[in-house]
């Protein structure tokens, strides 16, 4: 009976020794493979982030170009409105002068026509001033949009640089983890031989 127990213990130790050695070698390999998997996943995420940042930068550039066009158009509108106002003021002055002349000469019919012209010129002047005010507001809004788009563009470029830096770091980690897996597998192979 004692011999059987001793034989059983010896056989158990003989069988379990290589299994224990293999188990010790498998743990680092499994851990390194897990690291490789995580690094690949991080790399995929970084590539997605880089692609998204590139799209954001492209979109911001388009917004900036559009806002620059809008600002340019608004500047032209403001300039045009100012010219219209100057013209209306000249017309108004001319109509006032003509009205005074008609009244001096006693031409009531001509004076009535000049009053109507004067009223129409005042109306035009008010409309042009309203347009000018509206165009100036548009100009301020478009200038603000342009500043915001430029700020967004700079932020997106910073994000892109950070994501590229992260991707490079993840590639380095992936190479290192692959190397560790290879070394652990070699050590495991050497220990089983």
Q: What is the pLDDT along the chain (193 residues), one digit of tens a residue?
A: 556 665 555 556 555 555 444 545 555 667 777 887 888 888 888 888 888 888 888 888 898 888 888 888 888 988 888 898 888 888 888 888 877 787 777 777 777 887 888 888 888 888 888 988 888 898 899 889 888 888 988 888 898 888 888 888 888 888 888 888 777 777 777 766 6
Helix 108-192 × helix 2-105 angle, to 10°: 170
Q: What's the rounded Cα separation, in Å, for the pair 38 and 157?
A: 26
Q: What's the rounded Cα separation, in Å, for the pair 58 and 153?
A: 9
Residue with tokens 């994501």: 163
Q: What's the rounded Cα separation, in Å, for the pair 30 and 23?
A: 10
- Range 2-192: architecture per CATH: Orthogonal Bundle (1.10)
Residues contacting residue 59 through CB under 8 Å, at least 6 positions apart: none
pLDDT value, residue 75: 86
Other CB atoms within a 10 A radius of the CB of residue 85 amount to 17
Q: What's the rounded Cα separation, in Å, for the pair 101 and 121?
A: 18
Q: Torsion-angle region of residue 106: left (phi > 0), alpha (psi -120 to 50) or beta?
A: left
Dihedral, CA atoms, 67, 68, 71, 77, nearest 10 degrees? -110
DSSP 8-state class, residue 193: -
CB 99 within 8 A of CB 111: yes
For the chain, give every domain's residue range.
2-192
Nearest C-alpha neighbor of 192 from the set 23, 3, 53, 45: 23
């Amino acid at each position: 009976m004692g011999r059987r127990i001793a034989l059983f213990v010896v056989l158990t130790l003989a069988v379990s020794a290589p299994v224990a050695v293999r188990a010790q070698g498998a743990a680092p390999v499994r851990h390194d493979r897990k690291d490789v998997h995580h690094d690949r996943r991080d790399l995929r995420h970084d590539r997605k982030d880089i692609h998204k940042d590139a799209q954001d930068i492209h979109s911001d550039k388009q917004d900036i170009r559009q806002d620059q066009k809008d600002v340019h158009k608004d500047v032209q509108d403001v300039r045009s409105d100012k010219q219209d106002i100057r013209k209306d003021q000249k017309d108004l002055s001319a109509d006032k002068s003509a009205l005074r002349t008609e009244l001096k000469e006693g031409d009531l019919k001509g004076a009535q026509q000049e009053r109507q012209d004067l009223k129409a010129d005042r109306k035009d002047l008010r409309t042009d001033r309203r347009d000018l005010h509206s165009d100036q507001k548009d100009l301020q809004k478009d200038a603000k949009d342009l500043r915001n788009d430029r700020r967004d563009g700079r932020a997106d470029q910073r994000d892109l640089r950070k994501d590229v830096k992260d991707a490079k770091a993840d590639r380095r980690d992936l190479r290192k983890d692959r190397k560790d897996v290879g070394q652990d597998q070699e050590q495991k192979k050497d220990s089983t031989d």
